[in-house]
Amino acid sequence: MSRLKRRLSVVLLAALCAVGVPAVAASAATGPPNPSFASAFGYSAFVDADVDPPGANDWSCRPSSRHPEPVVLVHGTWENRYDNWAFISPALKAAGYCVFALDYGDEADSALGKIPALKGTGDIRESAKELAAYVDRVRSATGSAKVDIVGHSQGGMMPRQYLKFEGGAGKVDALVTLGATHHGTTLSGIGSLGKTFGLLGVAEPLLGPAAIQQVVGSEFLTALNAGGDTVPGVHYTVIATKYDEVTTPYGSTFLTAGPGATVKNITLQNGCPIDFSDHLSMSYGPRTLHYILNALDPARAGTLPGMLAPCVPRGPVL
C-alpha cells in the first residue's frame, strides 16, 4: 500500500468518526501493549494490520472454575481486533480469563473496505454468521458450554443479531457493550440528513454496507429490534459515554430488558464528570475496564473492598 493510502486511512477514520472487524483465523503474531486507541490504530495502519491484541487467542487456555466462560472480544466498524482491544485484552488475561478476539466483516467492494486495517465493513448479517462460527470454535477449544462477549460499537450490536437469528442465545451468558449502535445512530445528524436526501445508497460504495445498516431507522435495525431488545437467558451490560460522537444520541445505546433477561445501563460520567472519553477512547479507559470486570464477575464488586469505579481524567481521541 502506498504511503498516501496509509495516510488516507487515518484521515478518513478521524473525519468520519467511526468503529469495526477480518477473517476468523488468528494471526500467529501478537502486537505490543498500547495505552491508547490512537497509537494502536497507528500500529495497525502503518506496521501490521493482522496481529492479535496482547493476551488474546491462546487456544491452549482452559477456563478456571472462578471464570468458567471464555471472553470473546468483538471490535467495531473500521476497527480491528488489535486496535480496539490492545488495552482491555491483556487486562482481562491478567484477571484470569481466557480471552479471544476475532476480525470480521472483511470486504473489498467499498473504498474503506480495501484498507487492510479497517474491518467490520461488510453486511452485518454475514458478520453475525462469522461470529457464530468463531464462538463455536472457542467453545470447542476450551470445552466451555457458553462464552461471554464484550463488543464495541457495531461489535456490541452485531452479537444481538447472532443471539436472535444465528443460534447464539444458548451459547452466551453475558453480553457487555461499549457505545454500541443498538438503536442506530444519526452520526450527530449526518446519517439522518443523508437518509432524508436519499444519499445513503451513494455512501455505501465508500463506507461499506455495515455503516449504512447502522443508521437509525435502517431496514436491518428495524428487523433486529422487532419484538424487543433482548433474548431470554442473557445478562446485558450497556456502557455509554455522554461524549460519544458516533453513536448519537448516546442514550440510543441503552437497552430495555425483556422476559428472562437482565439489563444494566451505565453512563461513564455518572459519578465521574472528569471522564471525557469519546467513542474511540472509551475502550482504553480504566473506568470502562472496571465495569467490564464487574459485568463478567458480578460478585467482584460486592466481595472486594474498595472496588469503586476509578475516576481519572480521560480525554477524547477526536
> Distances in Å between the alpha carbon of 120 and those of 84, 85, 146, 304?
12, 14, 24, 37
Domain hosting residue 274, numbered range: 3-303
Q: Give the residue among 246, 214, 10 at the shortest CA–CA distance from 115.
A: 10
What's the confidence (pLDDT) of residue 10? 35
What's the confidence (pLDDT) of residue 12? 39
Q: Per the domain annotation, does 314 fall within a domain?
A: no
Q: Per the domain annotation, does 40 fall within a domain?
A: yes
Q: Per the domain annotation, does 174 fall within a domain?
A: yes
Q: Per the domain annotation, does 316 fall within a domain?
A: no
Tally of domains within the chain = 1
Distance of CA 86 to the CA centre of its chain: 13
Q: Who wins on pLDDT, 218 or 299?
A: 218
Up-side HSE of residue 248: CA atoms within 13 Å toward CB?
Answer: 14
Tell me if 116 sits within 8 A of 50, measured CB to CB. Answer: yes
Tell me, what CATH number does 170's domain have? 3.40.50.1820
Q: Per the domain annotation, does 140 fall within a domain?
A: yes
Tell me if 83 sits within 8 A of 118, measured CB to CB. Answer: no
Would you place residue 307 in the very low, low, confident or very high pLDDT band (cuts 50, 70, 90)?
low
| Each residue's pLDDT tens digit, 163-202 | 999 999 999 999 999 999 999 998 754 444 344 334 445 5
Q: What would the mean pLDDT of 231-255 be, rounded to a whole number?
A: 97
Q: Per the domain annotation, does 193 fall within a domain?
A: yes
Q: Which residues pair with 71 in a beta bridge?
A: 99, 148
Q: Per the domain annotation, does 114 fall within a domain?
A: yes
Helix extents (H) in 218-285: 219-225
Helix (H) or strand (E) holding 294: helix 286-296
What's the confidence (pLDDT) of residue 204? 80
Helix (H) or strand (E) holding 140: helix 124-142
Q: What would the mean pLDDT of 108-136 be, rounded to a whole number?
A: 95
Q: Per the domain annotation, does 150 fall within a domain?
A: yes
Tell me if 317 sits within 8 A of 284, measured CB to CB. Answer: no
Average pLDDT along the chain: 87
